[in-house]
A and B are shown apart, each in its own frame.
Chain A
Amino acid sequence: MLSAEVKNKYELVIGLEVHAQLLTQSKMYTSDSTEYGNLPNTHISVITLGHPGTLPKVNRKAVEFAIKMGLACDCEITRHNIFARKNYFYPDLPKGYQITQDKNPICVGGIVPITMPDGSKKTVALTRIHMEEDAGKSMHLAGEVDTLVDFNRAGVPLIEIVSEPDMRSSDEAYAYLVEIKKLVRYLDICDGNMEEGSLRCDANVSVMLKGSTEYGKKVEVKNMNSFRNVVRAIEHEFERQVEMAEANIEIISETRTFDAATGLTASMRTKEDLNDYRYFPEPDLSPVIVSEEWLESVKASMPALPRELHHKFINQYGLSEYDAGVLTDSKEIALYYEEVCLFTKNYKGAANWVMGPVKSYLNELTLHISDFPISAKSLAELIGIIDEGKISFSVASQKVYPEMLLSKTKRPIEIAQDLNLIQESDEGSLMPIIETVLSENAAKVVEYRSGKKGLMAMFMGQVMKKSQGKADPKVATKLLTEILEN
């Protein structure tokens, strides 16, 4: 193990390449379905299989999805898009080349702002986002001598989001991935599931002495199938490269693969035997022109972005940075909260309800907010009757809310009435209860009046008990005080 002192001499430099599988119905260059989890080789037309004489055709939806991601990251959108062929042989690559973009990616530049756990902020610059197609899957089945290939995934649209080497710790890489996942889910262009491979990440890692302006030789690490493993792989690479630097061993540019079982990386190939992909413009596709009209219509279809909602929740609804962060973590929760705010002005109260009882119900039953039985309007009504003093928060959360979860049709006020939970704030109806309590506890009244003010809580408890919890505590306290102090 390296000492903290040694590690501290070095700066870790990370750039990430994230592949996101797009949620289009059909493939990048054919009308074959992109559905996941079907029997092998059931979504394979002659185009997917690269039969002789076939030609690709660009899926405009996929282009729109790529543009959306670009707009969300403030990229410049390329208007004249030329595709390119990346040539290499592999059995899961039906044409012997992948149709991708080389010299003019659909999105150029751009930024991804990230927030660290301590609340500090940073901006990661993007190099580019380009469109391409996925490959099939090689399968090594037990008891089967040959390797088999499933081409269902071949041709599924991907975008590759390439960052600048702007990250300086594995925590930053993690925060960046969280942000990318959040973005693609907000945009509804990718389900963001890294375990299932719909989000994939390669990390370019290098080290340099602190204060140096020249990056070290970069090592590309592949095969991490979770955010956690990206962090582990980066941390291992940092240790490995610092050890090499300390031992004066030259670090070589190479591709390494991460082994989740050991947490180590191992060399796959060095630069010398790197593939020469022989990129050249794809002659089988006419250029895709992004017209002003098209771009405007994509812009118009953009949903609110997490950072926009975050900003709005703080500035318009007066929430704390933390609350805004929790609520914008997931698009659906944020949108639900926004909807509740349409029906109530008690934004903070609404935030507490969504972050508290709503989220814990969903977590407990592992439900999605779309399955949540209480409409935003009903929840706002519940908040409203608390604010009006008709019921207390504890009665609302313990008695009314559970009923609302069961009954979709009853309004909260009706439930409160049916359960006889409306607070007694009418002095006339509270007075007899208070008088009874005081007369039953005459000795305590004397004690109170002689200075034992702490007995107030006991009187209140009795009043609440006799009113079956319906007494409005504020009114009851006021009446009790008035009588006892006179």
Chain B
Amino acid sequence: MEKFLSFDDITKSLENRETDCKAIVNYYLQNIQTKAHLNAFVEVYKDSALAQAAKVDEKIASGKAGRLAGMVVGIKDVLVYKDHESNASSKILKGFKSQFTATAVQRLIDEDAIIIGRLNCDEFGMGSSNENSAHGKVLNAADETRVPGGSSGGSAVAVQANLCTVSLGTDTGGSVRQPAAFTGLVGIKPTYSRVSRWGLIAYASSFDTIGVLSRNVRDNALVMEIMAGTDNFDSTASKKPVPHYSELLHFGKRAKIAFITETIESEALQPEIKANTLAVLKKLKEEGHQVEEVHFPLLKYTLPTYYILTTAEASSNLSRFDGVKYGHRSPNAHNLESMYKLTRSEGFGDEVKRRIMLGTFVLSASYYDAYFTKAQKVRRLIKEYTEEVLNKFDYIIMPTTPSTAFKFGEHRNDPVAMYLEDLFTVQASVSGVPALSLPNGTDSKGLPIGIQIMANSFKEAELYAFGNYLMELNSN
């Protein structure tokens, strides 16, 4: 029988002394073993998780437990954890152990969360299907012939298959929200700068965020409020105070909601997703909320803007993997140049190489203004437009993805078709605003559909409250 489906469940069981942390960890370890073929976990920290569980049990007994006592968390393989290996699912970081812990992870540990292992993902977070991983593909538990989405595919399946209570993912252009949609979970991309990036192996620094995947809104909100906030190690992290999202979930107002015609009417949109999205909008209207259509003529520029800027940053961020200091160094190298070339050719996968080359190209002297400078300008336009809409409306609603989970290999020969998976998620990434993906029924094949809500920067509390309300509304 499935147990521990929410942190609330766990807390109650602990309070009633029906279970203890050790038993909870063992339960998940058992599940991980049974579902090993899903390939969600890259490494399971069995011993350290059990040791941590014993410690937390003692703290519970002495009444000194933190707010996350009993929560078992999996972390994406791009978040570093002291004395543990981190590979970013890349061969180039094979064997690399970090000497420090990511701030986001440390804050969860400080509240007595138990880290049970690291989770498979697309290499350096680059991908939308988790097929670009040195650790192999991850299977969607809803249909094992299909992808779980990406790049946080392992993080999604780990929660979907109940291998941990919640998981941490990272979202640069949709990498938490899209897999959340493909696996029927709640996934958030917070406002850019809301969570410290210290310890997040960078893909595109001005887009990267750390998000949470969970089964319900409350767990998600709780983890986010503990991770978020200013950090001495990240000068770009916001200093704004963090509200207690999990205590602000009551939603009792009439909301002003916008939906973007260009997304609903997109040719790429699967009809069942369109129908489900429209049904939600109709329900909201019936509940007395103001729902209005807005136009976003820049939608077609969001993906190119995103890919120019993120690949530019990635080409630079990934320069440090050169075989000199850590990670893979080609044994076939015979001089400096061949060390660089062979190490990087052997260490990086195809998609990462594609993006490094793209990024190097758009930053090169002859093309810089035509691509990078222009994309920066368009980014500002998209951000201004998005904020303008969100000044008039409380929320923007749109589908999370154009389609439900696709088959393995479906986009193998067409990287652009793969990039289209991010069509609806990149707007929030380019603008920096927070966005939440919620489960919104299934298609005719029984595959989960996601719906996405965006709010203005630092309005996570409002986003969670509305998300919680929408989940309740949908379950009625």
Residues of chain A having any CB pair with chain B under 8 Å: 46, 49-58, 85, 87, 89, 91, 94-97, 147, 149, 276, 278, 280, 283-286
Selected A-B contacts with CB under 8 Å, 26 pairs: A46-B99, A46-B100, A50-B320, A50-B325, A51-B326, A52-B86, A52-B93, A52-B320, A53-B200, A55-B198, A57-B232, A85-B316, A89-B322, A91-B324, A94-B324, A95-B320, A96-B318, A96-B319, A96-B320, A147-B336, A278-B316, A280-B312, A280-B363, A283-B204, A285-B236, A286-B236
- Chain A residues, Cβ within 8 Å of B205: 283-284
- A91–B79 CA distance with the chains assembled, in angstroms: 25
A280-B372 in contact given A49-B325, A51-B326, A52-B96 (Cβ < 8 Å): yes
Please indicate the chain B residues that have their CB under 8 angstroms from the CB of A57 in the complex: 232-233, 235
CA distance A56 to B198 in the complex (A): 10
A208 to B236, CA, bound (A): 49
B313 within 8 A of A: yes
CA distance A276 to B93 in the complex (A): 27
Residues from chain A with Cβ under 8 Å of B206 in the complex: 283
Contacts of B246 in A (CB 8 A): none
Q: Is the CB of B360 within 8 A of A278?
A: yes
Docked CA distance A95–B324 (Å): 10
Is the pair A53, B201 in contact by a Cβ cutoff of 8 Å? Answer: yes
Using CB atoms, name the residue of chain A closest to B312.
A280
Q: In chain B between 93 and 152, which residues have their CB closer than 8 angstroms to a CB of chain A? A: 93, 96, 98-100, 102
Given contacts A89-B319, A96-B316, contact A276 B364 (CB under 8 A): yes
With A and B bound together, what is the CA distance between A64 and B324 in angstroms?
A: 33
Residues on B with C-beta less than 8 A from A87 are 315-316, 319, 363
Instruction: Please give, as numbers and ranges, the residues of chain A lying within 8 Å of B189 by CB-CB distance.
Output: none
Question: Which B residues are CB-close (under 8 A) to A284?
Answer: 197, 202, 205, 235-236
> Which residues on B sit within 8 Å (CB–CB) of A58?
235
Residues of B within 8 A of A85 (CB): 316
Q: Which residues of B contact A (CB under 8 A)?
A: 79-80, 86, 88, 93, 96, 98-100, 102, 197-202, 204-206, 232-236, 312-313, 315-316, 318-322, 324-326, 336, 340, 360, 363-365, 368, 372
Our pick among B99, B336, B363, B364 for the contact of A91 (Cβ within 8 Å) is: B336
* Bound form: Cα–Cα A50–B321 in Å: 9
Query: Are B198 and A149 in contact, with the CB atoms below 8 A?
Result: no
Closest Cβ of chain B: how far from A290's Cβ, in Å?
15
Residues of chain A within 8 A (CB-CB) of B102 are 53
Main secondary structure of the interface of B (DSSP, over half): loop
Q: Which residues of B have CB within 8 Å of A149?
A: 324
Is B235 within 8 A of A280, CB to CB?
no
The residue on A at minimum CB distance from B90 is A52
- Contact present for B320 and A286 (CB under 8 Å): no
Q: Is the CB of B312 within 8 A of A52?
A: no
Assess A53 versus B316: contact at CB under 8 Å? Given A91-B336, A278-B360: no
Residue among B199, B204, B312, B322 making CB contact with A53, cutoff 8 Å: B199
Q: If the complex has contacts A46-B100, A285-B236, are A55 and B320 also in contact, measured as CB distance less than 8 A?
A: no
> In the complex, what residues of A have CB within 8 A of residue B198's CB?
53-55
How many angstroms from the CA of A94 to the CA of B340 in the assembled complex?
13
Q: How far is the CA of A85 from the CA of B233 in the complex (A)?
A: 19
The distance in angstroms between the C-alpha atoms of A270 and B360, with both chains bound, is 22
B-chain residues with CB within 8 Å of residue A278 when the two chains form the complex: 315-316, 360, 363-365, 368
Once A96-B316, A276-B364, A284-B205 are accepted as A-B contacts, the answer to whether A55 and B322 lie under 8 Å apart by CB is: no
Q: Do the beta carbons of B98 and A52 come within 8 Å of each other? A: yes
User: How distant is the Cα of A147 from the Cα of B234 in the complex, in angstroms?
Assistant: 34
Residues of B within 8 A of A50 (CB): 320, 325
Nearest residue, chain A, Cβ from B193: A286
Measured between C-beta atoms, what is the minimum distance from B361 to chain A in Å? 10
Task: Name the distance in Å between B95's Cβ and chain A's nearest Cβ.
Answer: 13
With a cutoff of 8 Å between Cβ atoms, the chain B residues found around residue A285 in the complex are 235-236
Q: How far is the CA of A46 from the CA of B79 in the complex (A)?
A: 15
Candidates B98, B197, B204, B340; contact of A89 at CB < 8 Å: B340
A55 contacts B319, C-beta separation under 8 Å: no
The CA of A50 and the CA of B368, in the complex, are separated in Å by 26
> Which residues of A sit under 8 angstroms from B324, Cβ to Cβ?
91, 94, 149
Q: Nearest residue in B to A29 (C-beta to C-beta)?
A: B235
What residues of chain B lie closer than 8 Å to A147, measured between beta carbons?
A: 336
Report which of A56, A91, A276, A280 forms a contact with B316, defined as CB distance below 8 A: A280
Q: Which residues of A contact B204 (CB under 8 A)?
A: 283
Taking CB atoms, residues of chain B closer than 8 Å to A89 are 319, 322, 340
- The answer on a CB contact under 8 Å between B319 and A53 is no
Supposing A57-B235, A286-B236 touch, asked if A51 and B313 sit within 8 A by C-beta, the answer is no
Assembly CA distance A52 to B102 (angstroms): 10
Q: What are the residues of chain B within 8 A of A95 when measuring CB–CB?
A: 319-320
Determine how close the nearest CB of chain A comes to the CB of B191; give it in whole angstroms: 15
Closest to B204 in A: A283
Known: A46-B100, A85-B316, A286-B236. 12 other contacts (CB 8 A): A51-B98, A52-B80, A52-B88, A55-B234, A56-B235, A94-B320, A97-B316, A276-B365, A278-B360, A280-B363, A280-B372, A283-B204
Q: Smallest distance from the beta carbon of A253 to chain B beta carbons, Å? A: 15
Please indicate the chain B residues that have their CB under 8 angstroms from the CB of A97 in the complex.
316, 319
- Shortest beta-carbon distance, B379 to chain A, in Å? 12
A481 and B100 alpha carbons, distance in the complex (Å): 92
Q: A55 to B364, alpha carbons, bound, how many Å?
A: 24
Q: How far is the CB of A124 from chain B (nearest CB, A)?
A: 29
* Distance in angstroms between the alpha carbons of A87 and B368 in the assembled complex: 14
Closest to A44 in B: B325
Contacts of A91 in B (CB 8 A): 322, 324, 336
CB pair A53–B235 under 8 Å, yes or no, is no
Inter-chain CA distance A94–B327, complex, in Å, is 13
Q: Which of B202, B324, B365 gathers most chain A CB within 10 Å?
A: B324
Closest A-chain residue to B81, C-beta based?
A53
CA distance A46 to B100 in the complex (A): 8
Best-surrounded residue of B232, B316, B364 (most CB of chain A within 10 A): B316
Tell me the nearest residue of chain B to A87, going by C-beta.
B316
User: Which of A46, A91, A147, A278 lies at the interface centre, i.e. has the most chain B CB atoms within 10 A of its CB?
Assistant: A278
Q: Are A94 and B325 in contact (CB under 8 A)?
A: yes
How long is the Cα–Cα vector from A149 to B365 in the complex, in angstroms? Answer: 30
Tell me how far the C-beta of A213 lies from the nearest C-beta in chain B, rounded to whole angstroms: 28
CB closest residue in chain B, given A47: B233
Within the assembled complex, what's the spacing in Å between the Cα atoms of A291 and B234? 21
Please list the 8 inter-chain residue pairs (A to B) with the smallest Cβ-Cβ separation, ordered nearest first.
A96-B319, A283-B205, A278-B363, A283-B206, A52-B201, A53-B199, A50-B320, A53-B80
**CA of A51 to CA of B322, assembled, Å:** 12
Question: Given the complex of chains A and B, what is the CA–CA distance between A284 and B318 in angstroms?
Answer: 14
Once A94-B325, A276-B364 are accepted as A-B contacts, the answer to whether A51 and B319 lie under 8 Å apart by CB is: no
Q: How far is the CA of A56 from the CA of B235 in the complex (A)?
A: 8
Q: Which residues on A sit within 8 Å (CB–CB) of B199?
A: 53
Contacts of B321 in A (CB 8 A): 52, 96
B315: which A residues are within 8 A, CB to CB?
87, 278
Q: With A and B bound together, what is the CA distance between A20 and B447 in angstroms?
A: 62
B318–chain A nearest beta-carbon distance, Å: 8
